Amino acid sequence: MPMRAPIYLSPPDVGPAEEAAVLRALRSGWATPFGPEVDAFEQEIAQRVGVPYALALNSGTAALHLGLLSCGVGPGQIVLVPTVTFVATANAVLYTGATPVFVDCDPATGNVDVGLLGEVIADLRRAGRRIGAVMPVDMFGSCVDYDPLLDLCREAELRIIEDSAEALGSTYRGRCAGSFGDAGVLSFSHNKMITTSGGGMLLSHDAQLIAQARHRANQARIPAQHHEHDEVGFNYRLSNVLAAMGRAQLSRLDEMTARRRRLREHYSKLFASVDGVEVLSESDPGTNCWLTVIVVDPKLTGWQAADLARHLEQADIETRPAWKPMHRQPLFANAEARLTGAADRLFAQGLTLPSGSSLDEMQIDRITAEVQGFLHQHS
């Protein structure tokens, strides 16, 4: 059999533009965790998302951590976190000394169930518990249902740290993901919409919030010739070289998003005639199509998501279940969670398909042939 290169879920999509940008930064002498590329990257992202202030950081997780701290989250408080998310959201809560309480998802989107969230807030308040903040996560690039969520949080006087790590370029009723919270977070990890190989951004409408986070990201160093520090600080700044790479990626965001969207439409067509297979968030007009997740109802299909995963794995095509819910993680074995069963079902029945913007026509044809072969065997 001829050697086949594996097809990955969402590999970095980098080329000559990124190479030129990195070289430009290196040759400028600014091989530093600050500099003109960082400043420009912050401005360009802020403009793109539609927020006045942005802080470049070395990971999305760092941005979540500083966002929580800037909203005053700390020990003795609860932070409400969707159980369907990547562990970084919940880990950032642990870093602050606060405690995450997990909330189940809307089965159609995988995003937090806003009605259930309202019940949890009311119950916790009634029990006299202190809630520090709410962390909606724009899952797989689809925005949370923000109209009711913002109403709820305004009424309950709760601050919002929006985890938009997966949602750069997504919109909800014309507004960009990352702009809804008191703080918003983007990730530029290797598998996200754009990558700096590792990086993140904290966004806000509040100049003071970003200034405080900027201070903490630089070891809480006060401008003085000697090194002086007035609180606990972190080494969270983004490299100027990587910011240059991020700018090149951002200039290609529309083109890369269009490629993910075409893939999503392709998968929708591929499964359209299969009873019992749905594409998650299929009706969301604002999604950036970061990852396409299908949900398989085995009672209707006669096969499981895991069967298709195994078939594709034999063809060197990577897939993955939807995020394993936080309440199922050993780390959170003792955590509180308000559950409906939707997240467990999504984990059992969901399958994430190769969605990267760098997939070429031959790779897409290979995936199509394997999926069609599988469906034929099981029809």
Ligand X SMILES: *Cc1c(COP(=O)(O)O)cnc(C)c1O
Binding site for ligand X (CB under 6 A): 59-61, 85-86, 88-89, 137, 163, 165-166, 187, 189, 200
State how far the Cα of 135 lies from the Cα of 94, in Å rounded to an integer: 13
Q: Is 182 left (phi over 0), alpha (psi -120 to 50) or beta?
A: alpha
The bridge status of strand 221-222 relative to strand 228-229 is antiparallel
Q: DSSP label at 24?
A: H
Of 81 and 317, CB closest to ligand X: 81
Position of minimal CB gap to ligand X: 60
Of 169 and 277, CB closest to ligand X: 169
State how far the Cα of 18 lies from the Cα of 36, in Å rounded to an integer: 16
| Identity at 129, one-letter amino acid code | R
Tell me how far, at minimum, the Cβ of 142 lies from ligand X, in Å: 12
Distances (CA, A) of 196 to 87, 245, 252: 20, 6, 13
In sequence order, the 6+-apart residues with CB closer than 8 A to the CB of 262 are: none
Tell me how far, at minimum, the Cβ of 140 lies from ligand X, in Å: 9
Of 121 and 139, CB closest to ligand X: 139
Rg (CA), the chain: 21
Tell me how far, at minimum, the Cβ of 228 lies from ligand X, in Å: 29
Beta bridge partners of 352: 293, 320
CB burial readout 128-138, b (16+ within 10 A) else e: eeebbbbbbbb
Tell me how far, at minimum, the Cβ of 89 lies from ligand X, in Å: 5
Task: Phi first, then psi: give them for residue 174, nearest 5 degrees.
Answer: 85, -5
Of 322 and 359, CB closest to ligand X: 322
Tell me how far, at minimum, the Cβ of 36 lies from ligand X, in Å: 23
Residues catalogued as catalytic: 192
Tell me how far, at minimum, the Cβ of 48 lies from ligand X, in Å: 18
Of 8 and 374, CB closest to ligand X: 8
If DSSP codes are grouped into helix, strand and coil, which group holds residue 292? strand
Of 85 and 239, CB closest to ligand X: 85
Tell me how far, at minimum, the Cβ of 357 lies from ligand X, in Å: 16
The bridge status of strand 131-134 relative to strand 78-82 is parallel
Per DSSP, which regions of the chain are E strands? 53-57, 78-82, 99-103, 131-134, 159-163, 171-172, 175-176, 183-187, 200-204, 221-222, 228-229, 277-279, 292-296, 337-338, 350-353
Distances (CA, A) of 112 to 14, 64, 120, 231: 32, 17, 12, 34
If DSSP codes are grouped into helix, strand and coil, which group holds residue 156? helix
Of 238 and 371, CB closest to ligand X: 238
